[in-house]
Chain A
Amino acid sequence: MRVSLTIFSLVLGSALPLAAQQNGVFQIRDLAFGTVFPGVSSVISRTDAANSGRFDLSGKKNRDVQLTFVLPAVMTRTGLPAATLPLAFGANDAGYSPTQAVGNQTVTWDPRAPQTLTLPNTPNPKVSIFLGGRVNPAVNQPAGSYTGTVVLNVVFF
């Protein structure tokens, strides 16, 4: 009876870490608006190969994932004087590529809402999430560098 209990515990102990290691989300590229001018809105498309934001996901084949962005409403100026730069996201600003190609985004959505996707039915699938957006500087927007943070939360089922 004692030997049976020991074997069962060893099996239980090894199962969980193996499942966790196969799922992951990784930051790959910042969303970069570059140079913007006071009073002139600037848009970065999710299909912009150099400036769109990008996350990569790895997971189990054919499994669902739920994606939820935490998006800032403004970017903040570095240094003084303090200032904020309005930032906006809308329909089709987020995209999913099962092949990790910015030009092959098979699902697009409004990143302000959660999105559930199914990972490809291939061994150890790796996919990418792309993000675009818009900045709206005021006509008297103080010059300088502005930054913000976008978080992508992923639930692997």
Chain B
Amino acid sequence: MYSTKMVTVLVLGLMAASAMTLEAQNNASINVTAAVQQPITVTAASPLDFGTVFPGVPKGVALVSGSAGRFTVTGQASAPVSLSFVVPANLTFGVGNNLPITFTGSWNGINDPAGAGVGFAGVTAATFSGTGNLYVFLGGTVTPSVSQAAGAYVGTVQMTVTY
């Protein structure tokens, strides 16, 4: 009986010794969160159309004209964006026929050209409306020379919108 009790004490002691150095583990977790905004979509709604033009007679299209160009843009409501443009210096017809052109522009959160002006040499700051809409209007002036060749002149305006 004496031997059995001594063994029991010894075993308990060994268990205690190993328990004192046992590693304690813990863990915790946190969330990672993000809110992705609406992507931007740009639509070329209306071309800028100067119609019939006569040599030597400049012709302009106002922003309020039904012939003004228009882009419609959708995205995240009330989000700020940057507008940038690539515009031609001339409309062209065939080979070597250039019709000089200059541009005017405006942007608005509603379909109304009476908004803020845009610049074509750099970046223009704009803002989506509370419903996620943005309208950009284009006007301009063509200046044909007195010897301007007759024909259908065309050009392209590229607009980029970024958050």
A interface residues with partner B (beta carbon < 8 Å): 1, 4-5, 8-9, 11-12, 15-16, 19-20, 23-40, 42, 53-55, 72, 75, 77, 85, 87, 131, 133, 135, 137, 139-157
Given the complex of chains A and B, what is the CA–CA distance between A31 and B32 in angstroms?
5
Given the complex of chains A and B, what is the CA–CA distance between A152 and B25 in angstroms?
11
**CB pair A150 B26 closer than 8 Å:** no
Pick out which of these stretches binds chain A: B13-21, B103-111, B115-123, B145-153. B13-21
**CB pair A12 B15 closer than 8 Å:** yes
Tell which of A9, A11, A30, A153 touches B27, judged by Cβ atoms closer than 8 Å. A153
Give the distance to chain B from A44, nearest Cβ to Cβ, in Å: 9
**Known contacts A5-B9, A37-B76, A143-B39: does B33 contact A55 (CB below 8 Å)?**
no
Give the distance to chain B from A93, nearest Cβ to Cβ, in Å: 12
- 15 other A-B residue contacts (CB within 8 Å) besides A1-B5, A31-B31, A156-B23: A15-B16, A25-B28, A29-B30, A38-B36, A39-B39, A40-B163, A53-B32, A72-B32, A143-B38, A145-B33, A146-B35, A147-B34, A149-B31, A150-B32, A152-B27
Contacts of B36-63 to chain A: CB distance below 8 A: 36-40
**Known contacts A155-B25, A156-B24: does B30 contact A16 (CB below 8 Å)?**
no
**CB pair B36 A37 closer than 8 Å:** yes
Tell which of A9, A131, A146 touches B34, judged by Cβ atoms closer than 8 Å. A146
B interface residues with partner A (beta carbon < 8 Å): 2, 5, 8-9, 12-13, 15-16, 19-20, 22-40, 76, 79, 163
Residues of A within 8 A of B2 (CB): 1
Residues of A within 8 A of B20 (CB): 15, 19
Question: Taking chain A's interface residues, is the majority helix, strand, or loop, or is none over half, making it mixed?
Answer: strand
Given the complex of chains A and B, what is the CA–CA distance between A64 and B36 in angstroms?
40
Give the distance to chain A from B59, nearest Cβ to Cβ, in Å: 39
Residues of A within 8 A of B13 (CB): 8
